[in-house]
Amino acid sequence: MRTGVIIAVLAVAGIGSAHAQLFKCKGPDGKVVYSDTRCESGATAGALPPGVNNKAHENEAKAAADKAAADKAAAERKAQAEALVEAARKAGLVAPAPAAGTQASPSAQQAPKRYELTNADHERIRSLEIDSSRLGASSEQKRAASMQIDAIRSGREARMTSEERARRDGLTADLVSADAPKRQRALQQLQSIYYH
């Protein structure tokens, strides 16, 4: 009988501790602590509903650690990008950065303007695509059409002189020749026009 009373007392004590109030306390250093006792007078307190445990504290700590890792990774990516830009500057692939305390000229601050295609450019591209997809088109004709489409889209075609255009038209006519070496020479000369 005595052991039954001891078990009953222990059971009641266990139930009482299971429903104890949990407090969320914020210390002077800003850290949040969960406790089953009331917060100290200098700390801000907030009572949590029964059943909440320190899992919330663990989640907050994990979220803070994840944020710190993400910030570190972003800083490393930024440093790598800056190193790549600096290497490109040293290699002469990118214009040098303006010296500290100076401003870049207005023309250097503006990005190069992208060529805007006209309706005639769109029609010409469509025509070249149709011509190059014809069943009897030679590989030279297909390659030349691809180069010309690229030149139109980049604006190089619009900057060609009238002599270059006349030369291009003559070489394009040579691409339909049955003579393979003549087609290859015409293609090479077209490449020199487009990529000089």
Is 144 part of any domain?
yes
What is the predicted pLDDT for the residue at 115? 79
Q: Is residue 134 part of a domain?
A: yes
Q: Are 187 and 143 in contact, with CB atoms under 8 Å apart? A: yes
Within-domain flag for 178:
yes
CA angle 117, 119, 123 (to 5 degrees): 100
Contacts of 142 (CB under 8 A, 6+ apart): 132
- Please indicate, yes or no, if residue 32 is contained in any of the structural domains: no
Looking at residue 99, its pLDDT comes to 58
**Which residues does the chain have with pLDDT short of 70?**
1-20, 41-58, 91-112
Q: Residue 171, exposed/middle/buried by CB under 10 A (0-12, 13-18, 19+)? A: buried
Q: What is the pLDDT of residue 101?
A: 56
> What is the pLDDT at residue 79?
86
Supply angle C-alpha 163, 165, 168, rounded to 5. Answer: 110
Instruction: Report the Cα 90 to chain-centroid distance in Å.
Output: 24
Rg of the chain in Å (alpha carbons): 38
SS3 state of residue 38: coil
As given in the structure block, the two tokens for residue 196 are 């000089």
- 147 Cβ contact list (under 8 Å, min separation 6): 190, 191, 194, 195
Residue 177 lies in a domain: yes
Distance CA 171, CA 183 (A): 9
Here the contacts of 42-48 (C-beta below 8 Å, separation 24 or greater) are 47/21, 47/22, 47/23, 48/21, 48/22, 48/23, 48/24
State the residue range of the domain holding 176.
119-194
Number of domains in the chain: 1
Domain assignment of residue 165, yes or no? yes
Please check whether residue 26 lies inside any domain of the structure.
Answer: no
Residue 68 Cα to chain centre, angstroms: 21
Q: Is residue 68 part of a domain?
A: no
